[in-house]
Amino acid sequence: MRPAPNLAAVILAAGKGNRMSTDHPKVLHEFNGKAMIHWVVDLAQELGADPVVVVVGYQHELVEAALEGRGVAFALQHPQSGTAHAVEQTRRHLIDFQGDVLVLSGDVPGLSARTLKSLIKRHRDTRSKGTMLTADVDQPKGYGRVIKDDSGHLVRVVEEKDATEHERAICEINSGIYVFDAHALFATLPLIQNNNKQNEYYLPDSLYILKEQNQVVAVEKAEHFREIQGVNTKEELRRIHEDVPH
């Protein structure tokens, strides 16, 4: 099921998941009989990604133990300072990699290979240096909103805490899933700044930097929001159990 050669994957799995009301690492909570992180690792490997690098942080020993023998590498993020900072921790594993890097979230267990193959195809067909997966959702609260120009091209992603009232009314959201040309990704990461209310380094900023450099960036929209829904609470995990076929 390989979409094409030269694909690596980075899986972000460093968070605690404070709203899960438990000390257990969020990505180790089970979805349909196995830990969420296992679904995401299996999907990356099903697509032929090699290497697969998992970014760990909170109780990283438990996450690493749960993935023992799965053929993945680990990068430690401490402190946790945003998604761009997380990907930066994988540099030593991927700095010499020639190809595309798929960035996934360890708490999105309902994602399908079909959707990711469409994302990768859009990225490669457009010769993009960075491509974002988005989705439409009726209630976008909590998600970064995707701002586009009149031609449908990406302008920026604004996090809810930084958004205006008008921007919060936008229903197209950033899934937190991307594919980048490896060289372009690691060239832009050091240029990202943390000028936001969270003082974090946001990965979508790589796309804006690429645009400023007159590089091609693209957007692919998932067919169903339920596929890209992340898990932040036990209620959301229960809802995904009901909504996502596996």
List, for residues 85-95, the tens digit of each pLDDT value.
999 999 999 99
Smallest CA-to-CA distance from 221 within 176, 172, 167 is with: 172
127 is catalytic: no
Residues 6+ apart with CB under 8 A from 124: 4, 100
Q: Cα(220)–Cα(226) distance, rounded to whole angstroms? A: 15
Tens of pLDDT, residues 190-227:
999 999 888 999 999 999 999 999 999 999 999 988 88
The pairing of strands 30-31 and 34-35 is antiparallel
Specify the pairing of strand 7-13 against strand 100-105. parallel
Band (pLDDT 50/70/90 cuts) for residue 5 is low
pLDDT digits (tens, 9 = 90+) for 156-171: 888 888 899 999 999 9
φ and ψ of 81, to 5 deg: -125, 35
The third-level CATH classification (topology) of the domain covering 7-243 is Spore Coat Polysaccharide Biosynthesis Protein SpsA; Chain A (3.90.550)
Entry pTM: 0.90
Mean pLDDT, rounded, of the chain? 90
Any bridge partners for residue 134, and if so which?
174, 221
- Non-local (6+) Cβ contacts of 66 within 8 A are 28, 35, 37, 38
Three-class DSSP category at 183 = helix
Q: Which of 2, 19, 114, 168 is catalytic?
A: 19
Q: Using an 8 Å Cβ cutoff, are 137 and 145 in contact?
A: no
Asked whether the predicted pLDDT for residue 245 surpasses 60, the reply is no
Domain layout of the chain by residue ranges: 7-243
